[in-house]
Amino acid sequence: AQRVTQPEKLLSVFKGAPVELKCNYSYSGSPELFWYVQYSRQRLQLLLRHISRESIKGFTADLNKGETSFHLKKPFAQEEDSAMYYCALSGGETSGSRLTFGEGTQLTVNP
> Which residues contact other proteins (rule: CB under 8 A)?
32, 34, 43-46, 49, 51, 86, 88, 90, 92-93, 95-104
Beta bridge partners of 22: none
Q: Which is nearer to other proteins, 34 or 59 (CB)?
A: 34
How far apart (Å, rounded) are the C-alpha atoms in residues 10 and 106? 5
Residue 89 C-beta: closest distance to other proteins, Å:
8
Residue 12 C-beta: closest distance to other proteins, Å:
20
Q: Which residues contact 17 (CB under 8 A, 6 or more apart)?
A: 76, 77
